Structure 1
Amino acid sequence: MLIDMHVHPIFYGPICNDDAELENRKNAFGVWKQGPMDFEELFAEWDICGITQAALLPLDLTTTAGFWVVDNDQVEALCGMNPDKFIGFASVDPHRSDAVDVVRKAFEEQGLQGLKLNPAKQKFYPNDPVAEPIYRLCEQENKPVIFHSGLSWEPNTPTKYCHPMAFEEVLIKHPNLRVCLAHFAWPWVREMAMLMIKYPNVYTDTSLLYVDSPEEQMMELFTKDMGPMWFERCFPEQVMFASNGPRFRAFKLKRALDKVPMRDFARENLYCKNALRFLSGKGCNRNGRGQNDPASE
C-alpha cells in the first residue's frame, strides 16, 4: 500500500473544461508545460510505483487573487468518481468572512477529510487570529490540516509566511490538532525535525523541491540533513510519502526512497501507516508513537 499525501489535481481531465480556469491554474502554480490528463493515464503512472490512494489538495485564493486554483466542489466531484482512490481535502481563504462556513460545509456535507492552507499564497501568518476559528473547527471535527511550509517555487509566495518556526504557536495552542508542515519545510530540515521531536501532533512529508536528482535529494535528506537514524528513532510516525504532483513525478520519488536505508517498519510507516494515522488520529499513544513500533520501546 502506498499513499501519496500531496497532490494538486490541477490537470485532472474531468475538471479541465474551462480554458480560462486552466490558464489561472498554470499561472498560480507556476507550471506551464503540462496539460490535462485522463484517469487512464494517471492510474497507469500510479501503477508504476504502486500508489493506491492520493490526497487531492484544492486552494482558495478568493481574496488574494480572485479565484480558486481548484475548488472544494471539484475535489468532491473527483472523489465521487473514484472514492477508493482519492482522499479529498478542502481549502478556504482565511480572510473570507464566511471561512468557517465553507470549511464546515466541506467536512459535514461534502465528506472532505482535511484542510489545505498555503500561508505564502494566501498571505497570512499561521498564528494570525484570522485563522483561529478555522483551527478550532478542525479540532472539533477531528480533521487534519496540511500547510505549505518552507520554500515555494510558485509565483507571488513570500517565504516569510512559511518558516517552520512560524507554526510553533499554533502547535502549542492546539495540541490536539494534527498538522502537516509539508515539504519537510525545506531548507529548514533541522527546524522541522526539532518540531516533530517536540510536538507529536506535527507531521511532515517528502514532497521536497528537488535541487538535485530525486535519488540525491532523498539520500541527502535522510542521511545528511538529518542523522541517518533520526527518522527511525525520533519521529518514525510523523513523516509521510508525498510527491507534490504534478510538479514532480511520484514514481521517481518512490524509486529514490526505495534506495534510502531504513528498517521495514519505518518504510511501512512512511509509505502508508503514517498517512492513515494522520487522517484518522488513531493508532498513536500520548508520545506520538505507535504502541507496536520498535522506536516506542
Structure 2
Amino acid sequence: MAQGAPAFTPKSDELPPIIDVHFHAGIESFPGLPPMCPNASQFLASDPDDGPEAPIGWSDEDCSPRLYPSKPGEYLSDMIAEMERLNVKAVVFGKPDDVKKWVEAAPNRVIPGTSFDIGPNVDKAQQLKMLEMAFTQDGFKVMGEIGLQYAGMSPSDMSVDDYFALAEKLDIPVAIHMGTGGSGRANIGTPTYRASMGDPLKLEDLLARHPKLRVQVMHAGYPMIDNMLAMLGANSHVYVDIAGLIWSYPLEEVNRYIERLVDAGFEDRVMFGTDQMMWPKLMSYSISIIQNADYLTPQQKRDILYNNAARFLRIDKEKK
C-alpha cells in the first residue's frame, strides 16, 4: 500500500496564503485519466511481447487516499472551490483562451501563463506576435509550460531562442519542463521524450545568452540532483518547482530530493506546485507533504509554500 502524507485539513478561514506555480487550465489534453494513488511505491517493468503495454508504468496498488478526477465539465468549479478553501493562488498554464476562462472565473486566484507550440509547421512569427500581445496587453505573467523535453529538445536549442529573447526583453519569467515525465512508458506514450533533455546543465548556454532571464525549472530537474544543485549554485535567477515530483514518486524519495535542495542552501529557491490536471484533492494532498515534512522549519515551509514564489513572480515584497 502506498504511504501517503496525512491529509491537510484547514482549521480556520484565515489560512496563510499559498502559491501553486504549476497548474493546468483544463483536462482536454489529458483525456481519460483514472483515479490515482499518489506516491505509488514503484514503476513496473513491462515486456513488449506480452501484448499491449499500459501507457503509464505506476504500479496498480491500493492506497489511501485515492484521488478521483472531476466529473466532466466540473474541473474548473471544483478547483476554484479548493483554491478558495485552501487560500491558494495558482499560476495556470494553457492556451490563452482556456486560461482566460479561469481568470474570468477567479481573477484573484489565477496568475495566467501561456507558451508556444513546437513543431515543423509552427509559424514562429505568429507565435511571437501572440506571446508579445499576451504579455503586454492581455495580462499574462509567465511563459510556460515550455515542454521542449517532450520534443527531445534542449532549452538551449537555437531554434527556440527567439522565444526566450522575448521573455528576457519583456522581463517575463519562463517555466521549463525538466525532469520527471516519462511515467515509466516514455517510449510508448511520448516517443520523442528524452530524459537526457531534462538535465539542468542543458540550461547553461541559454542562460549565458540571456543572463537576466528568470527560469523556473519544473519538477526540479528530478532525478538529476547534482546537476540541479550545480545550476542553482551558478545562477541566482534559477528557481525550481517540486510539482509532479511531489506525488509521482515514493514519499521517502520525494522528501529526500527536497531535503537535498534545502540542505545545499537553496531553500529560498524551492517553490511549491502540484502539476494539477484533474484531481481536485491533489492540491490539499500535496500541501500536506510540505506541512508534514519534519526536516523543514516553519519558516522554510512558508518560504516553499509562498514566499519564494512571491519573490520569483514579484507579487509582493512582504513575507507571509
Q: TM-score normalized by structure 1?
A: 0.76
**Could you tell which deviates more after superposition, 98-107 or 137-146?**
98-107
**Could you tell which deviates more after superposition, 182-191 or 160-169?**
160-169
Displacement of 1:124 in angstroms is: 2.8
Partner of residue 309 from structure 2, selected from 275, 285, 291: 275
The aligned residue for residue 20 of structure 2 is 4
Give the RMSD, CA atoms, in angstroms.
Answer: 2.6
Counterpart Cα distance in 2 of 1:128 and 1:162: 13
Counterpart Cα distance in 2 of 1:43 and 1:281: 20
The C-alpha deviation readout for 1:4-39, integer Å capped at 9, x for no partner, is 11111223xxxxxxxxxx3xx125xx8356444244
1:137-286 equivalence runs, <5 A: 137-153=166-182, 155-156=189-190, 157-209=193-245, 210=247, 212-213=249-250, 215-223=251-259, 226=260, 229-230=263-264, 234-246=265-277, 249-260=282-293, 261-280=295-314
1:239 is matched by which residue type in structure 2?
A: V
Is 1:91 aligned to 2:95, yes or no?
A: no
Is 1:127 aligned to 2:161, yes or no?
A: no
Counterpart Cα distance in 1 of 2:249 and 2:217: 22
Counterpart Cα distance in 2 of 1:235 and 1:221: 12
Kindly name which structure, 1 or 2, has the bigger radius of gyration based on alpha carbons: 2
Is 1:45 aligned to 2:82, yes or no?
A: yes
- Structure 1 pair 123–218 and aligned structure 2 pair: CA distance change class (3 A): closer
Displacement of 1:94 in angstroms is: 4.9
Paired residues, number: 252
1:271 is matched by which residue type in structure 2?
A: L
The C-alpha deviation readout for 1:23-80, integer Å capped at 9, x for no partner, is xx125xx8356444244422343356x242011112xxxxxxxxxxxx1122123212
Is 1:31 aligned to 2:3, yes or no?
A: no
Displacement of 1:149 in angstroms is: 0.3
The aligned residue for residue 106 of structure 2 is 82
Counterpart Cα distance in 2 of 1:89 and 1:119: 16
Aligned residues of 1:119 and 1:162 also touching (Cα < 8 A): no
The aligned residue for residue 53 of structure 2 is none
1:76 is matched by which residue type in structure 2?
A: K
Query: Where does the alignment leave 5 or more consecutive residues of structure 1 unmatched?
Result: 12-21, 59-70, 284-289, 293-297
1:171 is matched by which residue type in structure 2?
A: L
Is 1:107 aligned to 2:143, yes or no?
A: no
- Structure 1 pair 264–32 and aligned structure 2 pair: CA distance change class (3 A): closer
Aligned residues of 2:261 and 2:267 also touching (Cα < 8 A): no
Counterpart Cα distance in 2 of 1:228 and 1:276: 18
- Structure 1 pair 228–92 and aligned structure 2 pair: CA distance change class (3 A): closer
Q: Percent identity?
A: 20
Aligned residues of 1:87 and 1:113 also touching (Cα < 8 A): yes
Displacement of 1:103 in angstroms is: 1.1
Partner of residue 57 from structure 1, selected from 82, 90, 93: 93
Helix, strand or coil: the match of 1:237?
helix
Displacement of 1:212 in angstroms is: 4.2
- Structure 1 pair 75–40 and aligned structure 2 pair: CA distance change class (3 A): closer
More relative contact order, 1 or 2 (CA 8 Å, 6+ apart): 2
Counterpart Cα distance in 2 of 1:267 and 1:145: 24
Q: TM-score normalized by structure 2?
A: 0.71
Counterpart Cα distance in 1 of 2:176 and 2:114: 12
